[in-house]
Structure 1
Amino acid sequence: MDMGSVSSGNGIPPLSEFPKIFFGLIGGLVAVAAIANLITIILYRQRLSAARNGLPTPSKPKSFFFRAFATTTAIMREFTSASMDPIRIWRFNIALPTVGRVALLTAYMIVLVVLCFVGFSDTLAQASMEDIGYRTGFVCIAQIPLLFLLAGKRNIIGFLTGLSYERMNWMHRWAARCLALTTTIHFGYWLGDWWPYGAFVGRKLTTDPITYRGLVAWCFLMWMVISSVAPIRGWSYEFFVVQHLVSFALFIGFVYIHTPAEVHIYIWIPVGLYFFDRVVRAGYVLYTNISFFHPKQRREGTMKGLWACKAELTPLSHNTTKITLRNPPVSWQPGQHVFVSCHSVLPLQSHPFTISSIPQDGKMEFFVKAEKGATRRLFAHAEKKHNLPMTVDQSVELRTVAIEGPYGRIRPMRQFDSVILFAGSTGATFTMPLLRDIVAGWRNPTAQSSWLNPAGVVTRHVRFVWVVKSKGQLSWFASHLSQVISDAASLRSEGLAIDVEMSVYCTCDESFTEEHKMLLSAFESSSKEKGLVRGNVQEDVQPISTTSEKDVLKRGDEDGFSVQEKSSETSSMVAKPATKSCGPNGECCCQTVLDEDDPTASNAAPCCCGAQAVPEADGNAGKAAIRTSGMSDSTDSPSVVDKMILHPSIHVFAGRPTTRNIIRKSLEQARGESAVVVCGPEGLVDDVRNSVVRLSDERAVHKGTGAQGIYLHCECFKY
């Protein structure tokens, strides 16, 4: 008799039905998420259509259905994004997950527990041990296909729900941990069934083929779960991937020979999903990287030879490598990333890098921070060919590379009334393309469109905040920032009602901020003589120091705010602190929080981060600085213009931003749904997320107050 036909009692379905029940529940959840995703796509197209027709508030819901959907969405966003403060244990801060993740995981575990034990009045009775052992086995086997649905880079769940693979990776890990828990319960109940017979347990484990095969499969599963925790996974990611694939193959093999034939369909499904994902990815990689699949570029002479992608590797300050692929073979959306392989430098390795350019540039650009391992070797190779410091536009040797992607999904920013972008250090590679894409839409609102990317722009207000450690990083996007300011000013002069506000917060280079103030003062004096007026960006300063801010700073140093020290060519730009500090005079400028409500406060907090101020090589920094568009026509002091790295409308401060006040000011003027996007260290991401949740609750978004919705997207420096 097949075990699947066995029932546990009256009203309880046979064992073979439990995997179907499990997939029915999971399918229902995916269906709800898919419907929500479909509604957001409809909203996107509806808003852009309204903007093209000149309606005043295209991103504000008007019908009863969309108002109800907006209210439901606002409540869900507040609930799912909320989180508690980190728990401090000794010298370590333990970050807690968001309420949304905890709720989803709790619901999933409740489903598994109910499926395992429903129908049993006494789960500890000896007579129930064998029945529960069989039941838990069927529940375990049902979970295996879900693991692979959540693991693939191109999978049906992500396609339906609008989630990219990296946003489902935590679900994959926790689903595996839940599988480990239920298999342990399965194993434990069989041990409990055999335990009264004493020595029979040992003989069963060593001589019964089904039993020891299951034990070996359990060991491989536990190993995969343990080796997937963050410290081990981050120790050597390449080794982790290889051993994970080998362990998976062995685990599947032993599960197959451990289970009866009637459930082998649940083994073949994940095997099929795995190979489907691999075949699709391999086919797309070949299409992307073989030049013969791109005849147009070959005819134009932009692509020669067999390989389609050639990259320039340029070393920059702050141990950063700039990778440039001209005439890329594929298009992409702002905020996406690709996996880059350069086998001549990093054999048999592929790493995800955010695309910092937009398709209109005609090139893919990546800014890769050298941390350790592969990124360090990549920077060392680029540095070998050049003498640091370098100018951003200097040509370099071409290297053959392969790309896979693009991957990553974010709701298009053009559909929101107001957009607030926060970036920490290299996080600007994520937010800068989003900003430039909006401006490109303003410049050409009737550009060629498609069903997925319709023409039009709803956005009328953009707030851009970039937190850097010193001025060396600013040259990466100085020309783009200046171009955005110039384009926005030009469009406003043509009657377009738009607003762009930018701020740069420099946490560990007070000499630069002081120099910028002096140059700005000289520029304003000259501008006033000619009757010119600067941009309207205003920032206020107030020092705030709390324990949580120190914790944020420490995490920021670990997650990408490290700086390469160089000797300065001018003594005016060098200040030697008497003690360890991040500021030039012994203070801790990176803990000073800047508030927009007090323009006079500028007290420095005592330093505890142990960092040191970073002197910049003035000569080369000057070369890297981009002369801002239109400034040479507005002043008779070309020396002032040449020395300014940033456009005068961009305010520069020494310290960290008060994210809550920045977000609040943008929300108060919004006429429709706003978007808040943050990319950077974990501390900055947590700060922005908590600010959005509190402001949404404080303003009673879509609860009768007139306050409009807030879409939040977070990207953190971890993988």
Structure 2
Amino acid sequence: MLQFFKRNVIFEGVDCYANRTSVEFQEAAMRSQTAMPGPSQVSFGNYTIFFGAGIILAACIKNIWFQVADSRYRNNGQQTKSLSFLESFVATLVSNSRYIGYKPINSKICTLLGLPTSVGSLLFILASTAYLACYCFVPSYWLRGCSGFGRPPICVRAGVMAAAMTPFIYILSGKSNVITLLTGISYEKLNGFHRWSGVMTLALVLVHCIPFVYQALLEGGSTFLAETFSSEAFWSGYPPFILLVLLCLGGNSWFRARVYEGFLHLHWMCGIAYFATLVWHIHKVLNMQRYMWGALAFWSTQLIYRALVKTTFKPNALFLKPRPAIVTMLPKDSYEVVVTNVADMEWKAGQHCFLRFTGSRILDNHPFSISSIPCTTSTDSNKLRFIIVPRKGFTGKLHKELESTIISKKKVYLDGPYGGTVRDPLAFNNLSLISSGSGVTVCIPFLTYVTQHIAQSIANGTEFIPKDIHFVWIIRHEEHIDWIRDELEQAVTIAGDYVTIDIYITSRRKFPSGNIISATSSSGNTSNFGEKKKFSDGIYIHYEKPKVTDIVLSSARYLRRRAMFVSSGSESIRGSVASGVSSLQSLVLNNDTERSSPIEEIFLHSEGFGW
């Protein structure tokens, strides 16, 4: 066999390949192990766990702080009090973080490289990568004088750290997971960190493998390399390595967007196989199996909880039974799905469910935002409503099945609800809802929920906090208004001047004659983008493509103490809203003394459809 890369490596007078059985070699090996014991590298796994646990603890504290603040502001009259020193300090700190963190990144670059679309998430990933890289590479003892003296320290460090990443990978993979429970961050927003954890683990695995290959080739060429990798300790690592590569490649945003259903099934099968083969590879080595059993404990608990609480395995009258659904065609090649018999379910504005239709679509499971809110008078009349614009894959196939009929009765299995925000929209003075296309299904439940609360408060003569609600919807065709016409008119009817609705039609067409009004509505809360027509009281239609960032920035004049923005739809829309809200953070940092009250918080909740 060709002895490529071989040269005589002499360490302390010992030939690392030719003298492996000599007494001198054994004595040199003992000195090397004394200087850097292999088991001492186990602590680097602890450093990895401590770092992840510390981040989760910080996010948990933040979650508790904001939930308490929302509750106090809504229920205890805190809106009339000035900020304490601690509250002012936290508001400034949070605003600085959001000013940087909300800034969007070019979506094409993010999709290509699998990076997050916000500066804040990217900085967190870079900082975490730097932390792990420093702990892996900064200790100067990388290799041993001879490979026969024991495993290279850098290989052991990297391997232990890769094993310690395993619990985070599997916790973050769950739709119902302990990190979401503690931090309030929904699983789809954690998905980017799930993918990063996998990629970082792959990088550590490569660091774990490469020095073995390098040192074996250096000392004995291909012959020694074959000898080294013939043991079970080495060839048992091939399967988990290959599976991890497949998981990382399959988890790329570009790939998932094009073959979502295929990716979903391949991913969970590879995930199970990776776990099993990794247990085999590291079994009883440096006590690394503890990371695997910890990951298994969290993973199995999350799966059991999800099955018994969120899916058809929920122990009630609908156990293993599908629910009736009515599918109706809507204008412009869209359709709605209304699921009945959901008295056992509770959900909030902004949440979504996974739908699995019986029959030919039984293997397809796809997420859709819930466009309805629970009925406050009777749970028996609750309905889950979904508005779906068909694309490739599952939604397109279902739409083709419906083309021959206007109304179709289906049976569907529900998995959910998931997502949304833990923040209370009723604890904010200003609520701006900005969406495009079918992304309106995220925003319309917020509008319905808040306006119904206002109506109830007016009827009861009680005070309410949301005083300014601005709903902006960007669509291609005017016929799309029929999707939510009833909800829009009802919101304006019951909440009156507290609500302003602006709908932008972007398709090219001649502006309609008649009913033309000035560019600024009576509430003064609409952006000056040109002519529009009055659709009905409080609802205005603009026939143009708006500058979304300008819409967000124009709200600065009307912001009160606490403001909440919700955005959904295309990446460009969400990016523009995020950019605008980032700029508005300066209002918190530099409060105008002429205002009746300081601006305490400007919060953004964004929902994408890249699950």
TM-score greater than 0.5 by the shorter chain: yes
Q: Secondary structure at the match of 1:62?
A: coil
Equivalent residues of 2:311, 2:415 under 8 A apart: no
What CA distance in whole angstroms lies between the structure 1 residues aligned with 2:258 and 2:408? 31
RMSD of equivalent CA atoms: 3.3
Which whole-Å CA distance do the structure 1 matches of 2:367 and 2:382 have between them?
A: 20
1-structure distance, mates of 2:399, 2:541: 29
> Are 1:166 and 2:188 matched, yes or no?
yes
**TM-superposed deviation, 1:264:** 1.3
3-state SS of 1:292 partner:
coil
Q: 2:269 aligns with which of 227, 246, 255?
A: 246
How far is 1:520 from its partner?
A: 5.6
- Matched with 2:323 is 309
Measure the CA separation in 2 of the matches of 1:422 and 1:598.
16
Flag the 1:125–1:651 CA change in 2: closer, same or farther, 3 A.
Answer: farther
Structure 1 equivalent of residue 57 of structure 2: 31
TM superposition shift of 1:159 = 0.7
Residue of structure 2 in register with 1:42 after alignment: 68
Shift of 1:673: 1.3
Shift of 1:353: 0.7
The one-letter amino acid of 2:547's match is T
Give the match's secondary structure for 2:610. coil
Tell me the matched-pair count.
Answer: 562
- Aligned match of 1:358 in 361, 373, 376? 373
Aligned to 1:692: 581
Give distance in 2, aligned partners of 1:93 and 1:287: 37
CA positional deviation for 1:212 = 1.1
- The answer (yes or no) to whether the contact 1:465–1:504 under 8 Å persists in 2 is yes
Query: Alignment partner for residue 141 of structure 1, among 158, 163, 175?
Result: 163
| 8 Å contact kept, 2:436–2:474 | yes
Distance, in Å, in 2 between the alignment partners of 1:138 and 1:288 is 37
- Rounded to whole Å, the distance in 2 between the matches of 1:418 and 1:79 is 22
CA distance 1:691–1:400, shift in 2 (3 Å): same
Instruction: Give the alignment of 1:51-130 within 5 angstroms.
Output: 57=79, 62-84=83-105, 97-120=117-140, 130=152
Distance 1:217 1:86, change over 3 A: closer
Query: Is it true that 1:278 corresponds to 2:303 in the alignment?
Result: yes
Residues of 1 paired with 2:545 and 2:391: CA distance? 23
Task: Answer yes or no: is the 8 Å Cα contact 2:324–2:409 preserved in 1.
Answer: yes
Q: Distance in 2 between matches of 1:155 and 1:320?
A: 33
The answer to whether 1:178 aligns with 2:200 is yes
Could you give the per-residue CA deviations for residues 29-84 of structure 1, whole angstroms, max 9, x where no partner exists?
Answer: 11111011001110111011135xxx7x35x7622221111111111111211245
- Are the aligned partners of 1:354 and 1:430 in contact in 2 as well (CA < 8 Å)? yes
Query: Deviation per CA, 1:135-174, whole angstroms, max 9, x where unpaired?
Result: 2211111111110111111111111111111010000001
CA distance, structure 2, for counterparts of residue 212 and residue 697 of structure 1 = 57
Q: Deviations over 1:393-445 (max 9, x none)?
A: xxx44322111111003122111110111110111111011011111111223
Q: Which residue of 2 aligns with 1:487?
A: 494
Q: Is the partner of 1:169 in helix, strand or coil?
A: helix
Q: 1:258 aligns with which of 259, 275, 281?
A: 281
Report the Cα offset of residue 375 of structure 1. 0.5
Distance 1:126 1:70, change over 3 A: farther
2:415 is paired with a residue whose SS is strand
Letter in structure 1 aligned against 2:305: V
For residue 678 of structure 1, the aligned residue among 567, 578, 581 is 567
**Cα 1:447/1:18, change in 2 over 3 Å:** farther
| Residue identity matched to 1:500 | V
Query: Is the 2:307–2:313 Cα contact (8 Å) retained in structure 1?
Result: no
Task: Please list every run of 5 or more consecutive structure 1 residues that lacks an aligned counterpart in the other structure.
Answer: 1-5, 295-305, 387-395, 449-454, 490-497, 525-533, 541-595, 603-643
Q: State whether structure 2 residue 307 is matched by structure 1 residue 415.
A: no
SS of residue paired to 1:475: helix
| Residue of structure 2 equivalent to 1:438 | 450
Report the counterpart of residue 544 of structure 1 in structure 2.
none
- Mapping for residues 376-395 of structure 1, pairs under 5 Å: 376-386=396-406
Secondary structure of residue in 1 paired with 2:522:
coil
Aligned position for 2:478: 471
Identify the residue that residue 507 of structure 1 maps to in structure 2.
Answer: 506
The equivalent of 2:18 in structure 1 is: none
The letter for the 1-side match of 2:405 is K
Question: 249, 271, 276: which one pairs with 1:226?
Answer: 249
Contact 1:678 1:714 in 2 (8 A): yes
Q: Which amino acid aligns with 2:433?
A: L
Which secondary structure does the structure 2 equivalent of 1:464 belong to?
strand
Secondary structure of 1:403 counterpart = strand
Report the Cα distance in structure 2 between the residues aligned to 1:255 and 1:506, rounded to whole angstroms.
Answer: 54
CA contact (8 A) 1:475 1:645 kept: no
Tell me, in whole angstroms, the C-alpha distance in 2 between the residues paired with 1:136 and 1:674. 45
- Cα distance change on mapping 1:46 and 1:275 into 2, 3 Å: same
1:90-135 CA-to-partner distances (Å, cap 9, x unmatched) read xx99997322122111121122122223432566976897122122
Q: Identify if the C-alpha distance between structure 1 residues 447 and 241 changes in structure 2 by more than 3 Å, giving closer, same or farther.
A: farther
Partner of 1:589: none
CA distance in 2, matches of 1:87, 1:249: 31
In structure 1, the partner of 2:339 is 325
Q: Hey, what does 1:536 align to over in structure 2?
A: 522
The one-character-per-residue Cα deviations of 1:646-699 (angstroms, maximum 9, x if unpaired) are: 424312111122333332333322221111111011111111111111232377
Question: What secondary structure sits across from 2:185 in the alignment?
Answer: coil
Q: 1:696 to 1:377 in 2, by over 3 A?
A: same
Structure 1 residue 488 displacement after superposition:
1.8
Secondary structure of the structure 1 residue equivalent to 2:560: coil
Provide structure 2 residue ranges, at least 5 long, that are not aligned to the other structure: 1-31, 376-380
CA distance in structure 1 between the partners assigned to 2:222 and 2:180 by the alignment: 50
Equivalence map 1:193-204=2 (5 Å): 193-195=215-217, 196-204=219-227
Residues 675/17 of structure 1: CA separation in 2 closer, same or farther (3 Å cut): same
Change (3 A) 1:268 1:85: closer
TM superposition score normalised by structure 1? 0.72
How far apart are 1:598 and its partner, in Å? 6.4
Amino acid at match of 1:518: G
Aligned residues of 2:569 and 2:608 also touching (Cα < 8 A): yes
1:512-531 pair list within 5 angstroms: 514-515=511-512, 517-519=513-515
Flag the 1:83–1:311 CA change in 2: closer, same or farther, 3 A.
closer
Distance change in 2, residues 1:403/1:645 (3 Å): farther
CA spacing shift, 1:37–1:9, aligned 2, 3 Å: farther
Q: Secondary structure at the match of 1:321?
A: strand
Report deviation, 1:466.
Answer: 0.5
1:299-321 CA-partner distances (Å, limit 9, x unpaired): xxxxxxx8462110001122212
CA distance in 2, matches of 1:94, 1:16: 31
Match of 2:603 in 1: 711
Query: What is the distance in 1 between the residues matched to 2:552 and 2:576?
Result: 11
Work out whether 1:654 is the aligned partner of 2:554. Answer: no
- Contact 2:311 2:416 (8 Å CA) reproduced: no
The alignment-based identity, stated in percent, is 21
| Matched-pair contact (CA < 8 Å) for 1:335–1:409 | yes
1:245-274 CA-partner distances (Å, limit 9, x unpaired): 222222222222221412212122223333
Structure 2 length as normaliser, TM-score?
Answer: 0.84
1:655 aligned counterpart, secondary structure: coil
Relative to structure 1, the CA distance from residue 44 to residue 446 in structure 2 (aligned partners, 3 Å threshold; closer, same or farther) is farther
Asked whether the 8 Å contact 2:349–2:420 carries over to 1, the reply is no
Secondary structure at 1:97 match in 2:
coil
Aligned partners of 2:308 and 2:315 also within 8 Å: no
SS of 2:606's partner is: strand
Distance 1:163 1:427 in 2: 20
1:592 corresponds in structure 2 to none
